[in-house]
Amino acid sequence: MTYTEIKEKGSKKYSYRVKSIRKGKKVDKQRIYLGVNLKKQELKQKEQDADKKLLNLKPKEPEKPITAKKTEMNRSPIVKSSIDITKISENKEKNIGITAEKDEFSEWFTQIMLKADLADYTDVSGCIVFKPTAYAIWDKIKEETDKRFKKLGIKNCYFPLLIPEKLLNKEKEHVKGFSPEVAWVTEAGDTKLNERLAVRPTSETIMYPSYSKWIRSYKDLPLKLNQWNNVVRWEFKHPVPFLRTREFLWNEGHTVYATKEEAEKEKDEIMNIYKEICEEYLALPSLVGRKSEKEKFAGAEYTISMEFYMPNGKAIQGPDFHHDGQKFAKAYNIKFLDENSKEQYAWQNTFAITTRVLGIMFAVHSDKKGLILPPKIAPNQIVIVPILFENDKKEVLKQAEEIKSSLVQFNPILDTREEYRPGFKFNEYELKGIPIRIEIGSRDLAKKSVIIARRDTGEKKEIKISDLEAEIPKILEDIQKSLLEKAKKLLKDNLIEVNSLEQTQSAIKDKKIALAPLCSSRQCEDDLKFKTDGAKVLNIPEHQPQPKNKNSMKCIICNKQADYIARIGKSY
Ligand SMILES: [Zn+2]
């Protein structure tokens, strides 16, 4: 039976089917060929031929696994589908690419995480796999942060993952803050443990009994230790890869000083490191400020946080620094003899950067085509795609190899797979966020040049092969710079100064961060949350914006004298 015959026999059904495919809909193939008795294999072939003809398709690409649509982290692992005839043709490339718009944030973000090969789900609800690209980025963040910590004399160490219950309970505010999220180990094999062991949500309570033993005199201070480890916080809010997962990776710095002044001096040293990592590597601008009493770290005297603005209009907290005063020192008996042999409680700080910054970076920079990575943090900064034809394959490949070795410092990928079309590869590397693509074919070869495409702008230009070594670093630098500028603009455009509750409410409705005068009462902060449908004080700028008349600065909730101008927004 010929294609024309099929078309004639089932013409009505067929036109329905073609229309539906064009709309991207899945159609049951059984309904299409009613009354046409063909063998299964034959049918499949006819369908494919018909598809090609009718939809004027390019040759079929080799089958790639089509990932199941997922929006929740607690679903079962992804299943690779077998060839589904209704999904070939145009749906095929669509399924490999991102099918959601950036303003459908949750779906868009989840698709990028899965399709750009950054994360995967596991059978543990709320916990993800950090796939090699994501982990390589985290490695780089660790490396750069750690280098800077070491310059400050901070040393790495490792404390146990498990914390006996009695230790966890020593600092009351601290335990109150964490107890709803603690995961417990209660049994070993079949034996019930005498005392429950907490899986660390943070390590103060396991570290400080040791600090109490080790610190005897002012000569033992300062003590500056750090751990790169994982923690578990069993949150019940909806998990999102990297942004909110029950297990995450971080640094936890725990330092001890003889005086409050010395301890507080560390605040800027640490926050400057985090700021540098976020801005210069991740191209992420932030809002640094002090947390309100309500929002500060459980057990801290005060918390300094970095807040970021996400493309869905929500703020999210990133790295932070806590000055703990003498609270933990008193709870865990961390005392030393000063120069006059007088016993004193020590002063402490803690600070952290977590794998959440990966998620923030992925979300802020990426677009409809997929991931965009700032070059300084991208594991591969370049991909070389040779355009291969049978007659000149050898020469093009040879040139591509030469280009690869001349640009080795940028860790280039050379994609020599012949079963994929160049266009397919372009899409794939755009999805994966490789900052620069170099295309080389025989035409370029004749001109001794290549085509360069920027992932961030999509801009293409021709460059002489002899200029590549000089030009590539400039382009990468420009991508890095323009990603930061773009993110700064997004942040700036979404900050708005307001003076009343009504203005605050409308700013929040418009998905902005409001700068509003507020008093420091707990009641006003609670009311704010209620009256703004869940917005909260993100932090309080340390350098307060100067109001025209300070005395007329009234709290937007109680209308009494305000204590500060606070940043208010909805937050993760
Ligand atoms: Zn008030």
Burial of 401 (0-12, 13-18, 19+ CB in 10 A): middle
Per-residue model confidence (pLDDT) at position 299:
85
Distance, CA 512 to ligand 1 centroid (Å)?
Answer: 21
> Cα of 517 to ligand 1 centre, how many Å?
9
Average pLDDT score over residue span 427-453: 95
Instruction: Decide: 566 and 537 in contact? Cβ < 8 Å.
Output: yes
How many angstroms does the Cα of residue 294 sit away from the middle of ligand 1?
A: 14
What's the CA gap between 566 and 516, in Å, rounded?
5
What pLDDT is attached to residue 551? 67
CA 373 – ligand 1 centroid, Å: 42
Q: Compute, in angstroms, the gap from residue 349 CA to the centroid of ligand 1.
A: 30
- Residues pairing with 251 in the sheet: 228
- Report CA(532)–ligand 1 centroid distance (Å): 15
Looking at residue 479, its pLDDT comes to 98
Residue 561 Cα to ligand 1 midpoint, Å, equals 8
Neighbours of 386 (CB within 10 A): 26
Closest CA to 64 of 40, 88, 45, 29: 88
Token reading at 315: 């703020």
pLDDT band at 364 (very low <50, low <70, confident <90, very high): very high
Contacts of 394 (CB under 8 A, 6+ apart): none
CA of 492 to the centre of ligand 1 (A): 26
| Cα–Cα–Cα angle for 474, 475, 478, rounded to 5 degrees | 90
**Whether residue 263 has pLDDT greater than 60:** yes
Strand duo 436-440 + 382-386: pairing: parallel
Residue 552 pLDDT grade (very low, low, confident, very high; cuts 50, 70, 90): confident
| DSSP label of 198 | E
- Determine which helix (DSSP H) or strand (DSSP E) holds 463, and give its type and residue range: strand 460-464
- Interval between CA 542 and ligand 1 midpoint (Å): 19
**For the segment 128-152, what is each residue's pLDDT rounded down to a tens digit?**
999 999 999 999 999 999 999 999 9
Between CA 459 and CA 330 the distance in angstroms is 60
Number of Cβ atoms within 10 Å of the Cβ of 501: 17
Ligand 1 centroid to Cα of residue 178, in Å, is: 28
| CA atoms of 183 and 289, how far apart (whole Å) | 31
67 pLDDT band, cuts 50/70/90, is very low
pLDDT tens digits along 165-193:
999 988 888 888 888 899 999 999 999 99
Separation of 560 CA from ligand 1 center, angstroms? 6
With vertex at residue 248, the alpha carbon angle to CA 246 and CA 253, rounded to the nearest 5 degrees, is 130
453 contacts 369 by C-beta, under 8 angstroms: no
Assign 3-class secondary structure to 265-304. HHHHHHHHHHHHHHHHHCCCCCEEEECCCCCCCCCCCEEE
Q: Which of 516, 513, 503, 502 is nearest to 553 (CA)?
A: 516
Cα distances (Å, whole numbers) of residue 508 to 254, 282, 362, 516? 36, 27, 24, 12
Kindly state the helix (H) or strand (E) to which residue 259 belongs, with its residue range. Answer: none
Find the 386 Cα to ligand 1 centroid distance in Å.
64
Distance 554 CA to ligand 1 centre (A): 8
Q: And the tokens for 518?
A: 């507020």
Whole-prediction pTM value? Answer: 0.83
Q: How far is the CA of 538 from the centre of ligand 1 (A)?
A: 16
Instruction: Give distance in angstroms: CA of 24 to centre of ligand 1.
Output: 54
Whether 199 contacts 184, CB under 8 Å: yes
Question: Do 443 and 389 meet the contact criterion of CB atoms below 8 Å apart?
Answer: no
**Distance between Cα 534 and ligand 1 center (Å):** 17
Q: How far is the CA of 21 from the centre of ligand 1 (A)?
A: 58
State the distance from the centre of ligand 1 to the C-alpha of 293, rounded, in angstroms. Answer: 14
Residue 344 scores a pLDDT above 80: yes
CA atoms within 13 A on the CB side of 360: 30
Residue range 326-343: mean pLDDT, rounded: 96
Give 298's pLDDT tier (boundaries 50, 70, 90).
confident
Q: Are strands 223-232 and 247-257 parallel, antiparallel or unpaired?
A: antiparallel
Overall average pLDDT of the 436-451 stretch:
94
Task: Give me ligand 1 centre to Cα 527, in Å.
Answer: 9
Confidence band (pLDDT; 50, 70, 90) for 44? low
- For residue 305, how far is its CA from the centre of ligand 1 (angstroms)? 22
In this predicted structure, the answer to whether residue 40 has a pLDDT above a threshold of 50 is: no
* Ligand 1 midpoint to CA 558 (Å): 4
Secondary structure E strands in 189-298: 191-199, 223-232, 247-257, 287-290
350 close to 324: Cβ distance less than 8 angstroms: yes
Taking Cα atoms as reference points, which of 227, 300, 230 lies closest to residue 267? 300
Residue 69: pLDDT over 80 = no
**Which residues in 80-138 belong to E strands, given as ranges?**
119-121, 128-130
pLDDT band at 91 (very low <50, low <70, confident <90, very high): very low
- Supply the pLDDT for residue 75: 34
Residue 506 CA, ligand 1 centroid: distance in Å:
19
Ligand 1 centroid from CA 536, angstroms: 14
Report phi then psi at 550, rounded to 5: -65, -35
Task: Indicate if the pLDDT at residue 47 is higher than 70.
Answer: no
Ligand 1 center to residue 562 CA distance, Å?
7
Distance (Å, whole) CA 96 – CA 99: 9
Phi, psi of 299 (to 5 degrees): 105, -10
pLDDT > 90: what percent of the chain? 75
Mean pLDDT along residues 23-30: 39
Strand, helix or coil for residue 390: coil
Output the CA 537–ligand 1 centroid distance in Å: 13
Kindly state the DSSP code that residue 355 receives in the 8-state scheme: T
Distance (angstroms) between ligand 1 centre and the Cα of 52 equals 68
Looking at the predicted structure, is the pLDDT value of residue 89 above 60?
A: no
